[in-house]
Amino acid sequence: MISVEDYGIAATFGITMALIQMATGLGVDRLIIQAVDGNEPKLQATAQAFNILRGIFLAIVLYAVASPVAHLFKLPEVVWAFQWLAVLPLITGFVHMDSARFQRAMRFGPLAIIGSVPQVITLAVSAPLALYFGDYRVMLWIITIQAVTTVLLSFLLAERKFKLAMDKEYLHRIFTFGWPLMLNGLLMFGIFQADRGIVGIAYDMENLGWFSAAFTLTLFPAIVLMSAAQNLMTPMIAKTQTDPELLGKSAVASTKAFFILGTLMAVGLALGGPSLSVVLFGEKYLGGAYIIPWLALMQGIRMIKAGPTTVAVACGKTKLPLYSNMLRSTALPLALFSVWNDWGVIGIVLSGVFGEFLAAVFFIFLIRKVTGLHLASLYGTMIISIALMAAAMILSLYLVTGLSPVLEISGAVAFSLVALAVLLLFAADLIAWVKEHGKTPQATSGSIEQ
């Protein structure tokens, strides 16, 4: 309903927000989940006060950089839109942290509602907004509605009263726990958003539009699956962090689970993604179909890397993801090199695939030393995953065009189901681990209190 160029302009809003948010994220929600005393009311109150202060700081920064960023993307006429973005962190800074606390007791219902309902609401209003505005302003309204509904739902589903505190000890712990995550956020911006930034600066808004559509098609399911899996597994792993033997089993289970998720996402989107992009965005976005299989592979490998990342964060070892993403960020110079040599957008994407592969291999060996991860327990899953992803990439390169939606999407679903069945043959230990550690604890002083 909006042009490819307007979609590209809208993508610049997401890039700007992502940079500011990821560069200042200290993971206070994960601290509440991971910490032994994460249920303490004063810790939660301090975390909520910190979020408000962070929101004020982000608002000031976003307003200050609105004009330079708009001119960087050659969009001086939309400075006002970048200034609008400054309101969003002010809103989201008031999110109630009870949904994070609930996860300590394996209560994921409120989190699921807070995460999904705003998406459903914005999906419902996106078409009317697109018909009314017909341009990039649709994105501004969508992200504003998401922010408001997220905060409102966090209060509606909370059990504790919303309180604020400024405890020095807890603030110190927030910064100690979170500064590696903050630096990691900067690197993750380079990983997730710099590719789009490079395309937007080196090429035109039309190229950025279809690239962003293809990128979003693979990134969105990756974020949803990864967030759901990490939210589920982090409290389960955290319960075993003081027992080396149990922690080793948890590391194997987490890594294997994300291997399965990453493989399924990669093969499914590699085979069905090009047609799905045409169905969702229209044939005018067909220009980006050829890169979708490679973007799917990149996100699949990134999903695999999230396994050891989840283990590290659950154990409070937040520096380890930073080390891994430092290696992953080497893909950024490669992407710039590909632009310099006029290799096109595909060169940027292949740089990302290479970087994700290096980081995933490095992190698996790194977490092995920290947790006692037994690589032998993963060999079967690794070999099957690699074979399935290789087969899907070959099929997508030679047979998938994006012009036969019913055939290609149904084929992708069938291939994914077969892949899941094969992978589950090597997942008996994972299933047993989930059954053992996924039980909801009784409400005690260490679980949910008012």
Count of H-run helices and E-run strands, the chain: 19, 0
Q: Would you put residue 282 in left (φ > 0), alpha (ψ -120 to 50) or beta?
A: left
Q: What is the dihedral of CA 139, 142, 148, 149, to 10 degrees?
A: -150
| Residue 448: predicted pLDDT | 35
| Residue 445: predicted pLDDT | 32
For tokens 């997730």, the residue is 192
At residue 302, what is the residue type? R
Each residue's pLDDT, cut to its tens digit, for the chain (450 residues) gives 566 667 677 777 776 766 666 655 667 888 888 888 888 999 999 999 999 998 898 889 889 988 888 887 778 888 888 888 889 889 989 999 999 899 888 788 898 898 889 889 988 888 888 888 888 888 889 889 988 999 999 999 999 999 999 999 999 888 888 878 777 777 776 666 667 667 766 666 666 777 778 888 888 888 888 888 888 888 888 888 778 788 888 888 888 999 999 999 999 999 999 999 888 877 777 777 888 999 999 999 999 999 888 888 888 887 888 888 888 888 888 888 887 887 877 888 888 899 999 999 888 888 887 776 677 788 889 999 999 999 999 999 899 888 888 999 999 999 999 999 999 988 888 888 887 766 654 333 333 333
The encoded tokens of residue 73 equal 């993307």
d(CA 447, CA 294): 43
267-288 burial code (b ≥16 CB/10 A, e <16): bbbbbbbbbbbbeebeeebbbb
Going by the DSSP 8-state scheme, the letter that residue 406 receives in this structure is: H
Going by the DSSP 8-state scheme, the letter that residue 163 receives in this structure is: -
| Residue 23: predicted pLDDT | 56
Count of alpha carbons within 13 angstroms of residue 274, beta-carbon side: 25
d(CA 124, CA 140): 15
Q: Residue ranges per domain, the chain?
A: 1-192, 215-437
d(CA 389, CA 391): 5
| Residue 201: predicted pLDDT | 67
| Residue 193: predicted pLDDT | 66
For tokens 């909006």, the residue is 2
For tokens 């399924």, the residue is 264
Question: What is the rounded radius of gyration, in angstroms, for the C-alpha atoms of the chain?
Answer: 22
d(CA 293, CA 399): 12
Query: What three-state secondary structure class fits 239?
Result: coil
Burial of 68 (C-beta count, 10 Å sphere; 0-12/13-18/19+)? exposed
